[in-house]
Amino acid sequence: MTDLGARHAYPPHEVLLAEGDRTTFVVVLLSGWCTVWTPTERGGRVILALRRAGEAVGDMAALDGRPRSASVSTLGPVTGLVVPGERFRRFLASRPHANALMMSQLTERLRSADHERRALASMTVLQRLAGRLVELADRTGRPENEAVTLRLPLAQHELAASVGSTREAVAKALRLLREQGLVRTGPGTLAVADLDPLRLLAAGQSHGTET
C-alpha cells in the first residue's frame, strides 16, 4: 500500500485533519499516536479516540465525501502515508480483503463510540478513567517493576479530555487510585500496578473508591 501515497513526517501536536474541512485524503499511520478530537463550547476539547500505527484516519470523508467530522492531531512525532481519497477508494474497490478490513475497523469504531456515550451518561469520572487506563495498558503497556507502564505521550489534560472530564477531576481520581495502590505516577510517567481492580471499576463494579 505504500505506493499509493507519499510518506510525511509530522511533529508533535500538529493538526493532520481539521473538523469541517472538505478535504478527502486519508493518512495511514506508520508510526506514532494521534488523537481524534472535537472542540467544546468552553474552548477546550473532547478526545473521541486514540489512533496508532497501522490505523487510518480521515477515511470517513474519503468514503462519503462529507466534511471532516472531527480533528486529528499528533501526540508525538508521527509518520504517515498520505493517500488521495479517490486513490484510496479505488484501492478498496479492487481488493475485497482490504475493504473487509476497513469495514471491520469502522464497525469497531461505532461500537466504541456507543460505549463512550453510555459511559459519559452513566459512569463516574473514576470509572471512565479506570476504563481508559485499562485500554491504554492493553494497547501500549509494557511490564516493568511489577507494574504495566503506559507507553504513550499523553499529558494529564489530554487524559482528562479522553474521558470527557476536567483536569482537576482526573487529578482527584488519579490521587484516589494512587492511594489504593492501583497506579503509580511520576514526571511524564504513569504505570498501572494492578489491572484487575481497574477492570472491575470500568465495568461499574465497586472497589471501595468513589469520586
Domains of the chain: 6-120 (2.60.120.10), 123-203 (1.10.10.10)
pLDDT, tens digit (0-9, with 9 covering 90-100), for 103-145:
888 888 888 777 777 777 678 999 999 999 998 898 888 888 8
Task: State whether the Cα torsion 73-59-98-9 is positive or negative.
Answer: negative
Provide the grid cell at 7: 510518506
Closest to 18 (Cα-Cα) out of 62, 66, 70? 70
pLDDT at 211: 46
Quick check: 105 and 54 in contact, CB under 8 A? Answer: no
pLDDT at 174: 93
pLDDT range class, residue 156, cuts 50, 70, 90:
confident
